[in-house]
Chain A
Amino acid sequence: MTDAPLLRLTNVSRIYGEEVKVHALDEVSLTIETGEFISIVGPSGSGKSTMLGLLGLLDLPSLGTLEVTGTSVSDLSDGIRSALRGDVVGFIFQQFHLIPHLDARRNVETALLYRGLTTRQRREKAMTALDAVGLAPRHEHRPVQLSGGEQQRCAIARAIVTEPQLLLADEPTGALDSTNAANVMEIFRKLNDGSRAIAIVTHDPAVAASADRRVSMRDGKIVADERLSGGQVISSFGGTLGTS
């Protein structure tokens, strides 16, 4: 199974509701390989969030199969799925979702809990991750003492500290000003070194354009899956490049 893709969705549907059924995803197939930098775009209600939940192993398909390196997730118990999620996926959210009463380092360490690490090992790994996003000097600051950009960098450090194979970002620049947004995208580009896959869910075309591959969604279906020419320089964020 070594040649199996990192993630593969085959005819996946996600249906909500019992009596009135809503097809949030409708027979979607998608494959994500290690090393890819992919953006998933689409208007509100297009099924982006549902896709994110499935890719992040937070949700299960109603129909179809979702495989992680060849293993069908639907067959796994809740506990094993949790463990797999912790090992394979690193999450980055629009609202950062840092734990308010913990300082930056401890927020990063949260991802390393229950893994049999010593306090020292945990601390060292957390500091390395914070260093990678340029936040090591502020490791003792709590989220309220950090700017939005710094909070998002801290969240990225938390996402990469477990060395996941997939970084899953949900509107990572949505709550940031353009400078901080550029900063965060720069970090993503650095992280796109071939050792992991990066998937960004966004409705911002500028963010989407910085990826190598763009998957467009509408009404629960994938309407376009394009390879973009690599190395595009995105000079402006904030939706000034027009609508998709």
Chain B
Amino acid sequence: MRSIRDLVGVAVSGLTARWSRTLLIMLGPIIGVSAIVAAVGLTESAKGDLQATLAALGDNLIRGEASGSFGSEPAYPENVVERVAKLATVEGATATKTVSGVITSPYEAAENYYTAFPTPVLTADEHFLEVMQVDLVTGRWLNDFDQQTAARSAVVGIGLADEFGFRIGQRTIRLNGIDYGIVGVVESYPLDSVFDNAVIIPATTADRDFAVGLEPDTVYVRSNPGETQLTAEIMGTAINLGDSGATATTILSDALEAEAAADSTLQIIVAAMGLLALIVGGVGIANVMSISVIQRSSEIGIRRALGHHRSLLAWQFLLESVAVGLMGGLLGALFGVGIVVFASRIAGWVYVLAPELDLFGVALPSHYLGVPTLYLIGVGAALGTSVFAGLYPSVKAARLEPLETLRLG
């Protein structure tokens, strides 16, 4: 044990004796590891806002759409929400219906344009905000009174509100020539953009004014966390009482999740570039250590003359190399983090310091033993490189014959 301590002491004094040289050879692993950490971190941070959105929206919202049978508009039973809510895995549900054939126009002169490019009109129930987890920008949602009295109240999406200027005072919107009062503006819902430009009215009002019936065609279901897939599979059966084919389900976060997922190819490319820098750094270590062995041949000779075994000399130089690799790796990881944070701040990204990794199809967790996997890999690679780089010089040191280096006689 004391011999190991002695060995470490010798290696440390060898490194600290020549600080500038030690720092110079440390540059290799520093640059290599910071390149790996920064490159992978930045490619992930570029998608960090997606991941942040995903985390905020949750991955447990399912959209069910009624599949049509021939000859009729596809529709759900009127009590679809109650039917779905009976499932134990469902937290909440809300139903909507597309009202077709309605021309929406902010003013009469624009009617032709809005006939060619109709604004979607939807019906929605009172659970909408709660299930979708969206907020109102202003005003209120459609309430029970609106539904029961078939009031001509409408909520508009934020896109439409901005387009028509509803946020700055206009209070009505004309559907097929009938004026509806605008009671609220709803925030954009990133996972389903249909609401952004939609006019949302009570189902009862839609049925009375446009005779579209009360049956919804779409249901949004918020499942218990972790049971999304299961819920998506069984909800069709629950809605249609056995006929699961009549519902097409989509887990809304899937597309976003795919977009935000680790990009294996990019990660490998940037990591490979960092690795290349690391290998160049390793060659630098091997070079400098080899020269150092020649420069310090007298020291090696005297240590051998003092009875130190040749293996101890090998360990001494290997340890010096490994210490350089480890220190350089740690500093490199630190610099890499700095680059990720700094660059993300400039670019306005949400920085990701502990990304999930996907190397050649092997998915790695973001952390291992509480340490971000990326840094473990970076520092580990630096360590591995330095061991390799130190092998040749240390063997060379061990093979030096003291008689040749001490210049006797």
Where the two chains meet, the residues of A that have a C-beta atom closer than 8 Å to any C-beta of B are 44, 48-49, 52-53, 56, 58-59, 78-79, 82-87, 89, 91, 93, 95, 97-102, 106, 110-111, 113-114, 116-118, 158, 162, 170-171, 201
A101: contacting residue among B18, B310, B403, B406, CB under 8 A: B18
A-B contact pairs, 17 of them (CB 8 A): A49-B409, A56-B305, A59-B403, A83-B309, A85-B306, A95-B407, A97-B298, A97-B302, A99-B299, A101-B14, A111-B307, A113-B306, A114-B3, A114-B7, A114-B312, A116-B3, A162-B306
Q: Which 5 A-B pairs have the closest CB atoms?
A: A86-B307, A49-B409, A101-B17, A49-B408, A113-B6
- Nearest-Cβ distance from residue A193 to partner chain B, whole angstroms: 23
Give A53 to B401 CA distance when docked, in angstroms.
11
Whether the Cβ atoms of A79 and B408 lie closer than 8 Å is: no
Tell me the chain B residues, 16-55 only, with Cβ under 8 Å from chain A.
17-18
Q: Is the CB of A101 within 8 A of B13?
A: yes
A58 neighbours in B (Cβ, 8 Å): 304-305, 401-403, 406
A78 touches B310 (CB 8 A): yes
A95 to B406, CA, bound (A): 9
Determine how close the nearest CB of chain A comes to the CB of B22; give it in whole angstroms: 12
Which B residues are CB-close (under 8 A) to A158? Answer: 306
On whether the beta carbons of A170 and B409 are closer than 8 Å, the reply is yes
A106 to B13, CA, bound (A): 10
Residues of A within 8 A of B336 (CB): none
A93 contacts B408, C-beta separation under 8 Å:
yes
| 5 additional contacts (CB under 8 A) given A111-B307, A114-B309 | A48-B409, A58-B401, A78-B309, A113-B308, A162-B306
Chain B residues near A87 (CB, 8 Å)?
A: 307
Q: A49-B408, A58-B402, A102-B13 are in contact. Are A85 and B18 (CB under 8 A)?
A: no
Given A49-B409, A114-B3, A114-B6, A97–B309 Cβ distance below 8 Å? no
B294 within 8 A of A: no
- Smallest Cβ distance from A147 to chain B, in angstroms? 19
B406 close to A97 (CB less than 8 A): yes
- The answer to whether A91 touches B310 (Cβ under 8 A) is no
Would B303 and A110 count as touching, CB distance under 8 A?
yes
Question: Is B129 an interface residue, CB under 8 A from the partner?
Answer: no
Tell me the nearest residue of chain A to B312, going by C-beta.
A114
What residues of B have a CB within 8 angstroms of the CB of A95 in the complex?
A: 298, 407
Of B13, B305, B402, B408, most A-chain CB atoms within 10 Å: B408
Residues of A within 8 A of B7 (CB): 114
Q: Across the interface, do A82 and B408 meet the contact criterion of CB distance under 8 Å?
A: no
Q: Which of A102, A116, A201 contacts B409 (CB 8 A)?
A: A201
Question: Which B-chain residue is minimally distant from A88 (CB atoms)?
Answer: B307
Q: Which residue of A lies closest to B302 (CB)?
A: A97
**Cβ-closest chain A residue relative to B5:** A119
Nearest chain B CB to A244's CB is how many angstroms away? 16
Using a Cβ–Cβ cut-off of 8 Å, how many residues does chain B contribute to the interface with A?
Answer: 31
Give the distance in Å from the alpha carbon of A53 to the alpha carbon of B404 in the complex: 10
CA distance A215 to B405 in the complex (A): 26
CB within 8 Å for A117 and B2 given contacts A58-B305, A82-B304, A101-B18: yes
Indicate if B378 sits at the interface (CB-CB under 8 A). Answer: no
Say yes or no: A53 contacts B13, CB within 8 Å: no
A44 to chain B: which residues have CB within 8 Å? 409
* Residues A113 and B305 in contact, CB atoms below 8 Å apart: no
CB distance from B16 to the nearest CB of A (A): 8
With CB as the reference atom, state the residue of chain B lying closest to A51: B409
B311 proximity list for chain A (CB < 8 A): 79
**Cross-chain contact A93 with B309 (CB below 8 angstroms):** no
For window 283-300 of B, CB contacts with A under 8 Å fall at 298-299
Q: Which residue of B lies closest to A122 (CB)?
A: B6
Determine whether B301 belongs to the interface, using a CB cutoff of 8 Å to chain A.
yes
Cα distance, A84 to B17, chains bound together (Å) = 30
User: Which among A59, A79, A84, A97 has the greatest number of chain B C-beta atoms within 10 A?
Assistant: A97
Does B10 reach chain A (CB closer than 8 Å)?
A: yes
Bitwise, B307-328 to A at CB < 8 A (1) or not (0) is 1111110000000000000000
Closest to B308 in A: A114
Docked Cα-Cα span, A50 to B306, in Å, equals 18
Least CB distance, B249 to chain A, in whole angstroms: 71
Q: Which residues does chain B contribute within 8 Å of A111, judged by CB atoms?
A: 306-307
CA distance A82 to B310 in the complex (A): 8
Expressed in whole angstroms, the Cα–Cα distance for A33 and B82 within the complex equals 108
Known A-B contacts A49-B408, A101-B14, A118-B2; A83 and B305 likewise in contact (beta carbons under 8 Å): no
Residue of A nearest to B405 (CB): A97
- Give every chain A residue within 8 A of B305 (Cβ-Cβ): 56, 58, 85, 89, 91, 97
B324 to chain A, nearest CB (A): 16
The answer to whether A97 and B301 touch across the interface, beta carbons within 8 angstroms, is yes
Q: Tell me the minimal C-beta distance from B56 to chain A in angstroms.
A: 57
| Interfacial chain A residues near B17, Cβ < 8 Å | 100-102
Say how far B408's CB is from chain A's closest CB, in angstroms: 4
B302 to chain A, nearest CB (A): 5
Q: Which residues of B contact A102 (CB under 8 A)?
A: 13, 17
- Chain B min CB distance to A105 (Å): 12
CB pair A83 B307 closer than 8 Å: yes
Counting chain A CB atoms within 10 Å of each CB, the highest count among B301, B306, B406 belongs to B306
Chain B residue with the shortest CB-CB distance to A158: B306
Residues of A within 8 A of B299 (CB): 99-100
Among B2, B9, B301, B408, the residue within 8 A (CB) of A170 is B408
Residue of A nearest to B1 (CB): A116
Q: Give bound CA distance, A171 to B303, whole Å.
A: 19
| B308: A residues at CB distance < 8 A | 82, 86, 113-114
The docked-state distance in angstroms from the alpha carbon of A198 to that of B386 is: 44
Q: Contact at B2–A91, with CB atoms within 8 Å? A: no
- B408 neighbours in A (Cβ, 8 Å): 49, 52-53, 93, 170, 201
